[in-house]
Structure 1
Amino acid sequence: MKAAWSKVEESYPHITPIGCAAHALNLLLKDIMALKTMDTLYKRAKEMVRYVKGHQVIAAIYLTKQSEKNKSTTLKLPSNTCWGGVVIMFDSRLEEKGSLQEMAISQSADMDSPIKRILLDDVFWERVVSSLKLLKPIAVAIARIEGDNAILFDVQTLLADVREEIRTALPTSLLLQAEETAVLKYIKKCEDFCLKPIHAAAYMLDPKYAGKSILSGAEINKAYGVITTVSHHLGLDEGKVLGSLATYTSKQGLWDGDAIWQSCQYISSATWWKGLCGSEALSHVASIILQIPPPSGAPERNWSLFGKTHTKARNRLPNTRVEKLVAIRANLRLFESDNEPSSTKLESDSEDEALESDVQEVDIEEVQGEDMEA
């Protein structure tokens, strides 16, 4: 992929290949968990959960202790590919620490002594707490960057927050000195993979961060280069665009006033540029850069929508009709709150296989004719 990136950048200077930020943060978690101290803790935590879940009597005692405390948290194990699950696993251990220790102390719990020692070991729980201080900032960043509302400039701020929080937590962690050095190296590796000049340009052009720059002089200079290259590709006057940028950063002209800056808190940054600053030469460049998604998660989620629309029962739909149905479904979801049941359920969502035999196939030419009328 990186070799392909180099070829693309060489042939098309206005295109900036970027890696998936969520994937890079997952790899950062994986690298940290591979450290000996973290790996030992991880294996002990997994061993404990598997033991409790694998013994019916022990599991029943654990559930009894939970019900006495009016809790229903389950003991979770992370997947092999999503390392953010490690944080969920450790969190669930801490939340159920009391129930687990009472289960271990119970006379009716015939437990292996190594597992019992782990549950009653204060050093184990101390390591879990200190590990969470290192891992949770990364998990929070992954959750935010994977959302549909994530924007390119988020990468710059999230990585800066992750770096600062981990550096603050390292002195009180239980990692060895060599492991602490390795963690800092992994963070730098993640930043080198994720951050490109276009991220700096997106940060600079976002009105929410105006006057709060965390960029270095070199990063600002590279951001100017990105804005100039995009302007050239769009056929805009590069000097006029940079002049507009100077007015924007100095908050003069159109941007001389508090109201316009306050408005950016209520609309997206791209809409702010197109709707309120459309008369400026910089507007077109800024609105394009600020709409670039940072991870590949949002596009990948479209696969399931297409899969539920173009099914065996609807396999003669032309591409144009499928795209229209997916667009309608995706946009209707924007009007639903997260806690409401979906009202955009398509007939192809049904898991009843009998539906397929009842669906009458429509001649593809007829469907295409309907598309043309639409």
Structure 2
Amino acid sequence: MTLRVHWSLTGVSIMSDGWQDVRHRSLINFLVNNSSGTVFLKCVDASEHVKDAKLLFRLLDEVVEEVGEELVVQVITDNTSNYRAAGLMLMEKRKHLYWTPCAAHCLDLMLEKIGELPQHKNALIKAKKVSNYIYNHSWVLSLMRQFTNRELIRPAATRFATAYLTLQSIYQLRQSLEAMVTSEKWTKSNYASKADGKEVRKIILKDNNFWPSLIYAIKTTRPLVKVLRLVDGGKEPAMGFLYNAMDEAKEKIAKNLGGEEKDYKEIWEIIDEKWNFQMHRHLHAAAYYLNPRCHYSPDFSTHPEIKLGLFHCLDKLIPNRDDMEKADLQCSAFHSREGFFGLAQAKNTVYKRTPVKWWTQYGDETPELQKFAVKVLGLTCSSSGCERNWSSFNQVHTKRRNRLTTTRMNALVYILYNKKLKDRRLKLKSLRNDEDSLLIDELPSDDEGLVGENDEDAPHLCVDDFNVDVFEGEPSQATQTQPISSSSKKASASAKGSSKGNEKLMLIDEDEWEDIDYDGGSGNKDDEPIDYNDFSDEVSL
């Protein structure tokens, strides 16, 4: 049974994002997601027009029409001004769907903003110097692998918040890095006598600010990375968990900083700004209310915005007024655990079933509310599947094979990427609780790595020898400004089976660091000391 069969039962999310290929064509991907998985729909060549809100609206509207308006619950894109305006125009025309910004993109913007704080900037700059140096020198990289038995970072599999995931990895490997730069192999090598090698060694061994600032940065961002793992990992639909997860993240940050408001206030203000003005939507509140894990928790919030979100979604997503009123009345039975909701099985399996499966099993006595809950709780919060799709395009459309038409490329990518999506779903199902869902992918990064082209010691590799393409000047998700056109071809049949990639070239994603300038500390003795309020104790990772 294909995923499309489930669309009429669960409703779908349309996911969209743009990118630019090696021929500088502006392309826009469209994917369809529901609680059963994600399907790549098509790619549009958008190279001939200015990328404004009206044209984006027209493209999104055409895709909604193609999929079926009655099936679409939300359209999810990044939160740039043109997409936001197009989303509002789409909601004005299509009265029974929502436009929502990508939660992973908003979380990434939070982390970038937090990264501008002096304490974080100090850690990020110096961590970049260390990782840059190691990955730009093949001998040093080989030596590091001997001491660590793992990669310093895995950006090809993480996509968002690479910088802070790198900080965590560097902290976990602190002893190995210290052992490396004090080893006989290092001290007898030419790298130990060069200026940049000495600077990296000094950061690792003697910089009194680096490790305390790194620990502080981890303590204040790890709860947000956990939320990112929830929305971007894809293990189960995240809509029902996002509202509560953001509250828990703020409380955890405050606890990590000792509970003193003066210590966490600045970070809370950054989080609240992005949440209130960019990220939060009625769907998040409604899904929180309908999630049995949250609703039946002693800590369930009774904030008025939660019921406001519920009522708004009931009115918008249930066109039939009689059905909407029935669903509204049935909320009382759900809240009071009447009928099936009060059965011992229903209580015992709240944490053993996903919210969608729980409602499917125990919501039969409230059919109108059940249908509504399954639609809302099965929604994704992230359009990051579109970014994973860039990697599939890059394998089809390489620097050596760059004359494919958009139509033919669409057909090839349709097969390749849907095979990868199926393989990813199988991996997620088999994932253990202690495994990181952000790190299950082995898809290559679309951004140029830190294997420096001008470094005489850098490995000179042909990109076609690997299951990866390395591009120069690839725009990031937050800065897409390319023109739009609507010429495309709808791909045909869905493909089955799993695919095995060739060897992957592990690259460092510089886009996550691009807003960090180099005016901060460099590990020199004359760096101004930073007060970290005694947050230099050990971090449990």
Once the 2 structures are TM-superposed, how far is the Cα of residue 139 of structure 1 from its aligned partner? 1.9
Could you tell me which runs of 5 or more consecutive residues in structure 1 were left unpaired when the two chains were aligned: 340-350, 353-367
Among 242, 247, 252, the residue aligned to 1:155: 242
Once the 2 structures are TM-superposed, how far is the Cα of residue 9 of structure 1 from its aligned partner? 4.0
Alpha-carbon distance in structure 2 between the residues aligned to 1:132 and 1:318: 41
Deviates more, 1:305-314 or 1:289-298: 305-314
2:275 is aligned to: 191
Q: 1:227–1:285: 8 Å Cα contact kept in structure 2? A: no
2:128 is aligned to: 46
Alpha-carbon distance in structure 2 between the residues aligned to 1:104 and 1:325: 43
Alpha-carbon distance in structure 2 between the residues aligned to 1:105 and 1:172: 39
Alpha-carbon distance in structure 2 between the residues aligned to 1:325 and 1:46: 34
What pairs up with 1:194-233 in 2 under 5 angstroms?
194-212=279-297, 214-230=300-316, 232-233=318-319
Q: Which one has a bigger Cα radius of gyration? A: 1
What pairs up with 1:59-74 in 2 under 5 angstroms?
59=140, 63=143, 67=146, 71-74=148-151
Alpha-carbon distance in structure 2 between the residues aligned to 1:327 and 1:47: 38
Q: 1:309–1:326: 8 Å Cα contact kept in structure 2? A: no
1:138 is aligned to: 224
1:21 is aligned to: 103
- For the residue of structure 2 that corresponds to 1:215, the secondary structure is coil
- For the residue of structure 2 that corresponds to 1:293, the secondary structure is coil
Q: 1:90–1:132: 8 Å Cα contact kept in structure 2? A: yes
Deviates more, 1:93-102 or 1:188-197: 93-102
Alpha-carbon distance in structure 1 between the residues aligned to 2:244 and 2:100: 16
What pairs up with 1:1-374 in 2 under 5 angstroms?
1-53=83-135, 59=140, 63=143, 67=146, 71-76=148-153, 82=159, 84-105=161-182, 108=188, 109-110=192-193, 112=195, 114-119=199-204, 120-148=206-234, 149-171=236-258, 180-192=264-276, 193-212=278-297, 214-230=300-316, 232-280=318-366, 281-298=368-385, 301=388, 330-331=421-422, 334-335=425-426
Deviates more, 1:274-283 or 1:287-296: 274-283
Once the 2 structures are TM-superposed, how far is the Cα of residue 147 of structure 1 from its aligned partner? 2.3
| Aligned length in residues | 335
Once the 2 structures are TM-superposed, how far is the Cα of residue 10 of structure 1 from its aligned partner? 4.2
Deviates more, 1:206-215 or 1:28-37: 206-215
TM-score w.r.t. the length of structure 1 is 0.72
Alpha-carbon distance in structure 2 between the residues aligned to 1:199 and 1:261: 23
Would you tell me which structure has more helix in proportion to its own residues?
Answer: 1
Q: 1:73–1:96: 8 Å Cα contact kept in structure 2? A: no
Q: 1:255–1:261: 8 Å Cα contact kept in structure 2? A: yes
Where relative contact order (Cα < 8 A, 6+ residues apart) is larger, the structure is 2
Report Cα offsets for 1:136-178 as digits up to 9, x if no partner. Answer: 22222212211232321121122122211222223499xxx6x
Once the 2 structures are TM-superposed, how far is the Cα of residue 88 of structure 1 from its aligned partner? 2.8
Once the 2 structures are TM-superposed, how far is the Cα of residue 317 of structure 1 from its aligned partner? 11
Alpha-carbon distance in structure 1 between the residues aligned to 2:182 and 2:395: 50
Once the 2 structures are TM-superposed, how far is the Cα of residue 304 of structure 1 from its aligned partner? 6.2
Would you tell me which structure has more strand in proportion to its own residues?
Answer: 2
- Counterpart AA for 1:297: S
- Counterpart AA for 2:250: R
Alpha-carbon distance in structure 2 between the residues aligned to 1:103 and 1:254: 61
Alpha-carbon distance in structure 1 between the residues aligned to 2:421 and 2:200: 48
% of aligned pairs identical? 21
Q: What RMSD in Å do the two structures reach over aligned CA positions?
A: 4.2
**Distance change in 2, residues 1:96/1:19 (3 Å):** same
